[in-house]
Chain A
Amino acid sequence: MKRYARWFWVIGVTQLLMGCATVKPYEKENLADPIMTISADEALRELKWLEAREGSTGGAGGAGGGCGCK
């Protein structure tokens, strides 16, 4: 059982590390989107989540075809 527990930890930690990625400075265009800032308008942020979840981009007005690919 102990042996399995060790493997469980090794696999778990490996999986966690695999989720880490270094983003190069020239790849940060999406991260630099104003919506990503902490001070971004909460209502806008919620709208973005909602639109992504519901696939309803543009449903609340503005541009977009409802494909969720804003």
Chain B
Amino acid sequence: MKKSIAKRSLVAAISVLAATGVAQADTRSDALSTHKLTALDGKATTLAAYRGEIVVLNFWASWCAPCRRELPLLDQWSSAWTGRGARVVAISIDKDAHKAKTFVDEMNLKLPVLHDGPDGLARTLDIPSVPYTLLLDRNGNVVGEVKGSTPSEIAALERKVESMLAARGVSTAQQAGMSGGSR
């Protein structure tokens, strides 16, 4: 009897934890796709604009030293992935958008940079570090994250994006082969 109660409690606890995890993931994806962001030229946008592409989303600030080291690398990735179905989007959490713009100009960054401040998505997601990087799949779901800028984790993130791109290439080729065979 006691065992059965314990078993049921365990199952219930696991279910609640799993449900909470799913709800959290959904909330995160929802917040990411609907939150209004501002481009450095003042235009409003949302991350939903990047649906259909793999997005590496980087939260950074001009006052954050590791971000200064990391952003040029992310900029290189962004250039390399142009036209391949992936991109890097950098979100500045500086209080003042002007600081972000000055930094971007100084570093001559070409990747899309949006400004949101510290009380926007950063607070909604309660980001655990600066920089903080999320990997979103083509549907805007969070499929990976890097807290901080550990070189090994950043390299792993790049490999993951490359494998996602490669998988996409394979499935596209397969689809083309299948449709060609059926004709």
Contacts and interface: CB of A to CB of B under 8 A. Distances in A.
A26 B64 CA distance: 10
Contact of B126 (A24, A29, A33): A24
Interface residues of B, number: 16
B98 interface: no
Interface string B76-108: 000000000000000001110000000000000
Interface string B35-76: 000000000000000000000000101011000000000000
B127 to A, nearest CB: 6
Contacts of B127: 24-26
Contact of A32 (B59, B64, B122): B64
Interface in B84-142: 93-95, 118, 122-123, 126-130, 132
Interface string A1-37: 0000000000000000000000011111100110000
A27 B123 CA distance: 9
B123 A29 contact: no
A26 B118 contact: yes
B56 to A, nearest CB: 19
B97 to A, nearest CB: 13
B63 A27 contact: no
B63 A26 contact: no
A38 to B, nearest CB: 15
Contacts of A25: 127-130, 132
Contacts of B129: 25
B108 to A, nearest CB: 23
Contacts of A33: 63
A33 B61 CA distance: 12
A26 B123 CA distance: 8
Nearest to A34: B63
Nearest to A33: B63
Report which residue of A24, A25, A32, A33 has the largest number of chain B beta carbons within 10 angstroms of its beta carbon.
A25
Interface of A: 24-29, 32-33
Interface of B: 59, 61, 63-64, 93-95, 118, 122-123, 126-130, 132
Task: Please provide the 7 A-B residue pairs with the shortest distance between their CB atoms, ordered closest to farther.
Answer: A26-B122, A32-B63, A26-B118, A25-B130, A26-B93, A25-B129, A29-B63
